[in-house]
């Protein structure tokens, strides 16, 4: 989104990585008053957290760019809003997406609110996504680099956040971002890309869950209901998972988790076909730029059920039932590993309409 007024004050969420560093550089070069803000959300080193290293890189980047630096302590809020949610969802046998919640509650929640309360005109992040304004309405678009697009994680943003947010690298390819970082000799230019859970990094999910969820042996059933093995607790598995359970007899074909019975602590496993489906429902609906069902009960558009996953053509039908307002999703082709708890995001071309949580 172009901004013509100079010296507007922008709080850049500086993680210490290359994307947010280049975002800060680009904004500074455009003449804005840029303040680097490092959000401290986690520091348990055994979980793979690199918070100390990240903060050090963020400080070095701010010094290199000659901009102010500020650190905010969001550890308590992150624990309550993201980590507790993560554990609670797994304990219910669902597969949550902590990055979606982190963006809603932390980056575009308490960070956004802090910035608005402290005299900033905008916040900015290193997300690969874009914002477009048309007729007074703000739209969330995919990042230009399809291999790095992060719009899936941002579908729960609304008009207030989009109107005050900037994604400086969203219109660039990752290769261009790296080139800029090297040319300007940014400290993060050669840092490896961060992966894993938002603010924590790469973790072994089972080990992470074992800190609060105990093992409880249960049965593994085939799709016909026959007992064929055992497992250590359904909360350690997600639909589509291939490993982790123990089978009594060798299976000539790979077996995947098809479904989970939380009450009985039972896993049902089957073929890749068994673990795929064409129809399912979503609830907890959120629309970015207005309700597309305002004048109709049915729409057709693209859908993703995981970050950077295949974009499926689908038909959506609005329903009202015991679970409240839901959408029935009918795909043109079966999708593998449709897991309850995951986000389902609707796309109209490059525009993110919104989405919901798979029931």
Domain count, the chain: 3
Residues 118, 34 share a domain: yes
Nearest Cα to Cα of residue 186 among 16, 51, 10: 16
Residue 218 and residue 245 in contact, taking contact as beta carbons nearer than 8 Å: no
Residue 155 and residue 286 in contact, taking contact as beta carbons nearer than 8 Å: yes
Residues 287, 261 share a domain: no
Both tokens of 193, joined, read 């890309």
Question: What CATH number is associated with residue 179?
Answer: 3.40.50.620
Catalytic residue among 41, 49, 198, 344: 198
Query: Using CA of residue 121, residue 127, residue 133, residue 139, what is the dihedral sign?
Result: negative
Element spanning 348, H or E: strand 343-348
Residues 69, 40 share a domain: yes
- Asked about 49 being catalytic, the answer comes back as no
Whether 155 has a pLDDT exceeding 70, the answer reads: yes
Residue 50 and residue 66 in contact, taking contact as beta carbons nearer than 8 Å: no
Catalytic residue among 102, 301, 344, 359: 102
- Asked about 301 being catalytic, the answer comes back as no
CA 149 vs CA 96, 146, 174, 233: distances in Å: 20, 5, 10, 34
Whether 227 has a pLDDT exceeding 80, the answer reads: yes
**pLDDT band at residue 206, thresholds of 50, 70 and 90?**
confident
Residues 160, 22 share a domain: yes
Residues 144, 41 share a domain: yes
How do residues 23-56 score in pLDDT, each as one tens digit? 999 999 999 999 999 999 887 555 555 667 889 9
pTM of the model: 0.92
Last residue of a domain, one of 205, 232, 258: 205
């Amino acid at each position: 989104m172009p901004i013509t007024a100079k010296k507007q004050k922008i709080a850049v969420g500086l993680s210490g990585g290359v994307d947010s560093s280049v975002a800060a550089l680009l904004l500074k070069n455009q003449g804005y008053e840029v303040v680097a803000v490092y959000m401290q959300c986690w520091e348990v080193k055994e979980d793979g957290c690199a918070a100390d290293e990240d903060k050090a890189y963020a400080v070095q980047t701010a010094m290199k760019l000659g901009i102010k630096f500020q650190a905010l302590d969001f550890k308590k809020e992150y624990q309550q809003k993201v980590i507790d949610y993560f554990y609670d969802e797994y304990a219910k046998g669902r597969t949550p997406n902590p990055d979606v919640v982190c963006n809603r509650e932390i980056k575009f929640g308490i960070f956004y609110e802090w910035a608005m309360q402290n005299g900033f005109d905008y916040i900015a992040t290193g997300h690969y996504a874009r914002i477009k304004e048309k007729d007074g309405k703000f739209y969330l678009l995919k990042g230009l680099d399809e291999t790095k697009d992060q719009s899936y994680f941002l579908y729960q943003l609304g008009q207030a956040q989009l109107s005050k947010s900037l994604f400086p690298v969203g219109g660039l390819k990752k290769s261009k971002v790296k080139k800029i970082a090297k040319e300007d000799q940014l400290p993060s230019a050669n840092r490896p890309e961060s992966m894993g859970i938002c603010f924590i990094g790469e973790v072994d999910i089972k080990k992470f869950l074992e800190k609060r969820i105990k093992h409880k042996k249960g049965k593994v059933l085939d799709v016909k209901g026959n007992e064929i093995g055992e497992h250590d607790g359904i909360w350690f598995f997600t639909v589509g998972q291939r490993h982790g359970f123990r089978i009594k007899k060798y299976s000539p074909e790979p077996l995947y988790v098809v479904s989970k019975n939380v009450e009985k602590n039972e896993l049902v496993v089957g073929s890749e076909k068994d673990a795929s489906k064409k129809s399912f429902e979503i609830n907890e609906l959120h629309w970015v730029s207005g309700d597309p069902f305002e004048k109709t009960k049915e729409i057709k558009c693209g859908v993703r059920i995981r970050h950077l996953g295949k974009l499926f053509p689908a038909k959506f039908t609005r329903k009202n039932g015991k679970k409240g307002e839901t959408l029935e999703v009918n795909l043109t082709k079966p999708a593998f590993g449709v897991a309850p708890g995951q986000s389902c995001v609707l796309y109209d071309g490059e525009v993110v309409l919104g989405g919901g949580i798979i029931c």
